[in-house]
């Protein structure tokens, strides 16, 4: 074992026998002595954690044995020595966070949470992967479906968890910069993560690693379970790069442990990483044996999944475990009870500091408590903070540039950011400062520059939300939301209050051509459960959209904003348009006679429906529907008042694909849309040629009504 950036010769098969013993170069910090009794207790705990994983996966006949067995010593060191946490207060704001990025190895996490004293019973551990259990197949952040204390992130897609950690580490730095004072330090935590080859092969982890190094997130410590195995084959079949050299080139500290099962070496490496306040995140490469303990499959790709289940009885016996399944010794429980008492004493000392800080900083304390509790101003207060429109045509991205600053003034922990498009997205918080380490930036800055890294931006936004204090938003062009889809899905699943500001929303983008003109993207986003997709028609609806994004605390919101100017419909009171947006849809133009036809439109097409109605007689109603999802959540009486069932003559209009609109117009209704890609030309020409005009709307409605 040594500090180096050298690869271990040979494959994981080299670890089929006893772990290699080599000398370690001197640590920068003083070498840490570990009592033999502690090492023995931790090794026993590691083997018992292996037993819990084997028993649960065998009982479920489903799961992944390789990582829980191969990384058991990492768990012993993290939960038994290096991490600062309080199992009785799993949401303590200054806790160290641990994320299992290789989430398929979830039994690793459940075993250690149980042993460490979190409220996760042995029965729940044994109920692995079963309906309504607290131990689902992959770790899930506490939400309305699963509440498992100690889970810091939903880690399904590989690479997402370690990329979330960049956001968690950034949020930790931001918290310290905002709330720590010269007299009191209340934030000084670290972010720990375990990754596998799959996480590091996914490109998003590289994006996040670059961001982490550039912004000098030295509170981030990643342990790489380098077992030389992927699911299909040995890792050498699909990778040949020197991972350590790659991370050094990014700007990380890299520590290589040639025996990733050596408890003393793991402890020294993690403590070294914690003590290095040098502006560099740390990657600890731990050369391990996948499936360690089941000799028949250990060190091979067969160990990744369930192949070892057939051999668990013999493996348990070889590890010295009794026949009793889900066995944990009294000594292990006592070790972690003592550990818990030590951690609790540290927590109580922190509480004393926190109380003194609150007394000295009442305004900061209120801001912090509001962040912890998720408290934001009421809808009425937020609307009062946003001036009404002065009139005149305006792109909704320009409207948003004004409104986001009103929101930022009202919500102190609201942050913004962009994937290199602040000038186009127009989502900069004026006077908020820029987040980061260099170039005049500060960790208290509210504007995050992500670079051209949309996928990582989505993960980092989730990380900020997981941290539990901030209301993050991030921006790019709508067409690039496809780079973020995996992260949006997890935000919706984990019920994270993230806001996406996606501009340049349609074929109205114009000259950039079809590569930059989204026609299918909005409909694709509407397919996500628990994502509110809001496409406002003008300034006042944009105000409503921003307020809605703050009001929604159990999931993400997408704000879909235009590049081109849109008509401000000043004839309809601002309050009607704002409050109607909160409800998802509302009657913009009431029919003056018997209701004959309803035109439903959204975003930039509302102006066309509004103007077309002037030519269509007294029996036409115009409904603005900025958000299908919010409208669908309204009660039946409200929905009937907007879209009365008795009126079957319905036309919908949107500059995008038509499929989803038939749920509102019916199969006998008509949708004026764009079921093709656009073309390069000025935006108004593209819109006109593809039928997105008031003139065409009126003609189509007349033809439909006969």
Give the angle 150-153-158 at the CA atoms, nearest 5°.
130
User: In whole angstroms, what is the distance from residue 368 CA to residue 347 CA?
Assistant: 18
Q: Is 454 a catalytic residue?
A: yes
- Assign 542 to helix, strand or coil: helix
Do the bridges between strand 97-100 and strand 253-257 make them parallel or antiparallel, or are there none, so unpaired?
Answer: unpaired
Helix (H, G, I), strand (E, B) or coil at 154: coil
Residue of 140, 272, 454, 654 with catalytic role: 454
Q: How far apart are CA 503 and CA 477, in angstroms?
A: 5
Q: How far apart are CA 502 and CA 427, in angstroms?
A: 10
Task: Name the strands in the sheet holding 414-418, side by side, starting at the edge strand that comes first in the sequence.
Answer: 447-449, 414-418, 471-477, 499-503, 557-560, 532-534
Cα 44 to Cα 18, 50, 621, 637: the distances in Å are 17, 10, 73, 63
- What are the φ/ψ torsions at residue 646 (nearest 5 degrees)? -70, -20
Instruction: Tell me how far apart the alpha carbons of residues 672 and 694 are, in angstroms, rounded to a whole number.
Output: 11
Would you say 449 and 418 are in contact if contact means Cβ atoms under 8 Å apart?
Answer: yes
Q: Residue 662's CB: how many other CB atoms inside 10 A? A: 15
Q: Please state the separation of Cα 332 from the chain's center in Å.
A: 35
Strand partners, 500: 474, 558
User: Quick check: 587 and 634 in contact, CB under 8 A?
Assistant: no
> What are residue 99's DSSP bridge partners?
193
End-to-end CA, the chain: 82
Rounded to whole angstroms, how far apart are CA atoms 324 and 330?
14
Q: Under a CB-based contact definition with an 8 Å cutoff, are residues 7 and 257 in contact?
A: no
- Residues 6+ away with beta carbon under 8 Å from 543: 383, 386, 399, 403, 574, 578, 581
- DSSP per-residue string spanning 559-592: EE--SS-B---TTS-HHHHHHHHHTS-EEEE--S
Query: What CA–CA distances, in Å, run from 603 to 390, 425, 525, 637?
Result: 19, 17, 15, 25
φ/ψ of 477, rounded to 5, equals -70, 145
- Please, which residues bridge with residue 100 across strands? 194
Best CA proximity match to 469, nearest among 436, 489, 451, 444: 444
Q: Checking phi first, is residue 109 left (phi over 0); if not, alpha (psi -120 to 50) or beta?
A: alpha
- DSSP class of residue 563 equals S
Residue 571 tokens read as 């004839």
Q: CA 447, CA 440: separation in Å to the nearest integer? A: 12
> What whole-number distance in Å separates Cα of residue 370 and Cα of residue 669?
47
What is the rounded (10 degree) CA torsion for 395, 396, 400, 402? 40
Give Rg (Cα) of the chain: 28
Cα torsion through 298, 102, 76, 303, rounded to 10: -10
The answer to whether the beta carbons of residues 607 and 537 sit under 8 Å apart is yes
Q: Active-site positions?
A: 454
């Amino acid at each position: 074992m040594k500090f180096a950036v050298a690869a271990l010769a040979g494959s994981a098969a080299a670890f089929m026998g006893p772990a290699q013993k080599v000398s370690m170069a001197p640590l920068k910090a003083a070498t840490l002595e570990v009592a033999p009794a502690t090492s023995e207790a931790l090794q026993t705990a590691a083997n018992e954690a292996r037993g819990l994983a084997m028993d649960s996966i065998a009982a479920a006949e489903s799961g992944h044995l390789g990582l829980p067995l191969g990384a058991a010593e990492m768990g012993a060191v993290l939960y038994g020595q290096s991490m600062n946490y309080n199992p009785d207060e799993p949401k303590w704001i200054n806790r160290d966070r641990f994320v299992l990025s290789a989430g398929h190895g979830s039994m690793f996490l459940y075993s250690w949470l149980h042993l460490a004293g979190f409220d996760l019973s042995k029965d729940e551990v044994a109920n692995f992967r079963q309906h309504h259990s607290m131990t689902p197949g992959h770790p899930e952040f506490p939400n309305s479906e699963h509440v498992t204390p100690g889970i810091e992130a939903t880690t399904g897609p590989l690479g997402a968890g370690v990329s979330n950690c960049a956001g968690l580490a950034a949020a930790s730095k931001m918290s310290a910069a905002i709330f720590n004072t010269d007299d009191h330090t209340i934030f000084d935590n670290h972010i720990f993560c375990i990754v596998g080859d799959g996480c590091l092969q996914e490109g998003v982890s590289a994006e996040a690693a670059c961001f982490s190094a550039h912004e000098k997130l030295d509170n981030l410590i990643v342990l790489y379970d380098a077992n030389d195995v992927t699911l299909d084959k040995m890792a050498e079949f699909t990778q040949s790069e020197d991972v350590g050299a790659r991370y050094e080139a990014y700007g990380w500290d890299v520590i290589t442990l040639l025996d990733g099962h050596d408890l003393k070496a793991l402890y020294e490496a993690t403590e070294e990483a914690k003590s290095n306040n040098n502006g560099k995140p740390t990657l600890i490469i731990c050369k391990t044996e996948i499936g360690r303990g089941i000799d028949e499959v250990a060190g091979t790709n067969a160990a990744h999944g369930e192949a070892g289940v057939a051999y668990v009885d013999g493996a348990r016996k070889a590890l010295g475990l009794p026949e009793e399944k889900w066995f944990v010794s009294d000594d292990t429980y006592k070790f972690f009870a003592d550990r818990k008492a030590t951690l609790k004493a540290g927590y109580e000392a922190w509480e004393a500091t926190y109380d003194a800080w609150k007394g000295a900083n009442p305004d900061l304390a209120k801001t912090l408590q509001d962040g912890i509790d998720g408290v934001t101003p009421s809808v009425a207060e937020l609307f009062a903070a946003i001036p009404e429109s002065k009139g005149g045509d305006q792109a909704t991205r320009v409207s948003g540039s004004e409104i986001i600053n009103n929101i930022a003034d009202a919500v102190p922990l609201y942050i913004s950011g962009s994937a290199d498009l602040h000038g186009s997205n127009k989502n900069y918080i004026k006077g908020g400062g820029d987040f980061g380490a260099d170039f005049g930036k500060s960790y208290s800055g509210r504007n995050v520059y992500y670079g051209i890294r949309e996928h990582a931006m989505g993960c980092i936004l989730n990380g900020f939300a997981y941290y539990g204090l901030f209301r993050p938003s991030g921006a790019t062009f709508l067409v690039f939301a496809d780079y973020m889809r995996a992260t949006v899905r997890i935000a919706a699943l984990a019920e994270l209050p993230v806001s996406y500001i996606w501009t340049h929303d349609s074929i109205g983008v114009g000259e950039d051509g079809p590569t930059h003109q989204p026609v299918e993207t909005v409909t694709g986003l509407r397919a996500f459960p628990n994502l509110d997709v809001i496409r406002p028609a003008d300034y006042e609806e944009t105000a409503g959209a921003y307020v809605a994004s703050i009001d929604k605390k159990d999931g993400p919101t997408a704000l879909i904003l235009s590049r081109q100017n849109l008509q401000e419909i000043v004839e309809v009171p601002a309050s009607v348009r704002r409050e109607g947006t909160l409800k998802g849809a509302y009657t913009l133009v009431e029919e003056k006679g018997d209701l004959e036809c309803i035109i439903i439109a959204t975003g930039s097409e509302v102006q066309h429906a509004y103007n077309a109605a002037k030519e269509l007689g007294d029996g036409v109603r115009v409904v603005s529907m900025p958000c299908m999802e919010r409208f669908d959540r309204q009660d039946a009486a409200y929905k009937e008042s907007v879209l009365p069932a008795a009126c079957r003559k319905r036309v919908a209009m949107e500059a995008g694909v038509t499929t989803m609109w038939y749920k509102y117009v019916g199969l006998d209704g008509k949708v004026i849309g764009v079921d093709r890609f656009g073309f390069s030309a000025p935006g108004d020409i593209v819109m006109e040629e593809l039928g997105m005009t008031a003139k065409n709307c009126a003609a189509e409605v007349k033809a439909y009504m006969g």
